[in-house]
Amino acid sequence: MADPAPVVEERAPASVPRPRRVVVVGIGMGPQHVTPEAVAALARVDVVLAFAKDGEDGSEDPLLAVRREVCVQQGLDLVVVPDPPRDRHEDVDYAAAVEAWHRARVGAYERVLADHAGVLGLLVWGDPGLYDSTLRLLDAVGERVPLEVEVVPGIGSLPLLAARHRVVLHDVGHPLHVTTARRLPEALAQGQRNLVVMLNRRLELDGLEDWSIWWGANLGGVGEALVAGRVGDVLPTIEAARARAKEEAGWVLDLYLLRAPDEQAAG
């Protein structure tokens, strides 16, 4: 008589956690730049997360009020998370400081996801695809927590700068190089002659007196300021306007189009 067939115990497959949905929305500089596409995306959001930086005197982040206004208009709850500090001393390794700051932000995202159910919304200044790390941070979070990320573009500072000055950012057939103030010397050494420079801590334009500049600060927001002309002629005016913008708004975010004399003549 044959031995009975072994009994195999069937086990239910392990449940796979459903991805958490995150909606990243570019909001330009506030409610006036929230597009219909952004409104439709925010209608699918349950709660919005915002990092807030306290001022040196302990005052509230002045940019937080703008995000609150967007949330009020869209009927959304806002969860405010203190922004982890970042070492900004001149003598620290920049890349290492940013990496440490990003790790701390990733941890904050994870905690908010654990504490709040539903679809999470993130409001990004300008456009999420240009000089913003939100999507990189979500990639890091996604390595630990399954995520489904939707991205909605916003009105960025580059088109605002061009619109305010009524210029095209490049001449016919010529390239546009976008960089940061930190890397401006490197770009000039490479021979770049038509640049947009962002993320300025200070204006350092020595040796560029004959270049043309189209500068703007806080575009679309409180303290908006514009100056254009030959660098050597308008630099003091820009410095004064930058200081006024910071005093009026409590912060300053500026950028500028910089064009060499030969590029200007070629146009």
Q: Edge-to-edge, what's the strand order for the sheet holding 47-52?
A: 77-82, 47-52, 120-124, 20-26, 147-152
Residue range 135-143: average pLDDT? 94
Q: How far apart are CA 103 and CA 37, in angstroms?
A: 31
36 and 75 housed in the same domain: yes
Supply the mean pLDDT for the chain: 89
Asked if residue 5 belongs to a domain, the reply is: no
Does the pLDDT at position 166 exceed 90? yes
131 and 169 housed in the same domain: no
Q: How far apart are CA 77 and CA 163, in angstroms?
A: 33
178 and 238 housed in the same domain: yes
Asked if residue 213 belongs to a domain, the reply is: yes
Q: What is the pLDDT of residue 13?
A: 56
Q: Could you tell me what percent of the chain has a pLDDT over 70?
A: 88
Q: Which residue has the tokens 């254009």?
A: 228
Q: What is the pLDDT of residue 4?
A: 64
CATH number, domain containing residue 255: 3.30.950.10
185 and 229 housed in the same domain: yes
186 and 252 housed in the same domain: yes
Contacting residues for 102 by C-beta, under 8 A, at least 6 apart: 133, 136, 137, 140
Q: How far apart are CA 100 and CA 90, in angstroms?
A: 16
Q: What is the pLDDT of residue 83?
A: 81
Confidence tier at 5 by pLDDT (50, 70, 90): low
Does the pLDDT at position 12 exceed 60? no
Q: pLDDT by residue (tens digit) across 21-71?
A: 999 999 999 999 999 999 999 999 999 999 887 655 556 778 888 999 999
139: domain range?
20-152
105 and 202 housed in the same domain: no
Q: Could you tell me what percent of the chain has a pLDDT over 90?
A: 68
Contacting residues for 17 by C-beta, under 8 A, at least 6 apart: 146
Asked if residue 139 belongs to a domain, the reply is: yes
Confidence tier at 1 by pLDDT (50, 70, 90): low
125 and 165 housed in the same domain: no
Asked if residue 111 belongs to a domain, the reply is: yes
Domain's final residue, options 98, 130, 152:
152
91 and 194 housed in the same domain: no
Domain's final residue, options 127, 152, 177:
152
Confidence tier at 3 by pLDDT (50, 70, 90): low
Confidence tier at 262 by pLDDT (50, 70, 90): confident
Rg (CA), the chain: 24
Q: pLDDT by residue (tens digit) across 75-124?
A: 999 999 888 877 766 677 777 888 888 888 888 888 888 898 999 999 99
Q: How far apart are CA 238 and CA 203, in angstroms?
A: 9
Domain's final residue, options 152, 178, 206:
152
Q: How far apart are CA 243 and CA 246, in angstroms?
A: 5
24 and 118 housed in the same domain: yes
Answer yes or no: pTM beyond 0.75: yes
Domains held by the chain: number: 2
Q: What is the pLDDT of residue 108?
A: 87
Asked if residue 61 belongs to a domain, the reply is: yes
Asked if residue 210 belongs to a domain, the reply is: yes
Task: Specify whether the CB–CB gap between 126 and 25 falls below 8 A.
Answer: no
186 and 140 housed in the same domain: no
Asked if residue 6 belongs to a domain, the reply is: no
Q: What is the pLDDT of residue 245?
A: 97
- The torsion of the CA quartet 65, 151, 104, 87, rounded to 10 degrees, works out to -70
24 and 148 housed in the same domain: yes
Q: What is the pLDDT of residue 11?
A: 60
CATH number, domain containing residue 33: 3.40.1010.10
Does the pLDDT at position 177 exceed 70? yes
229 and 254 housed in the same domain: yes
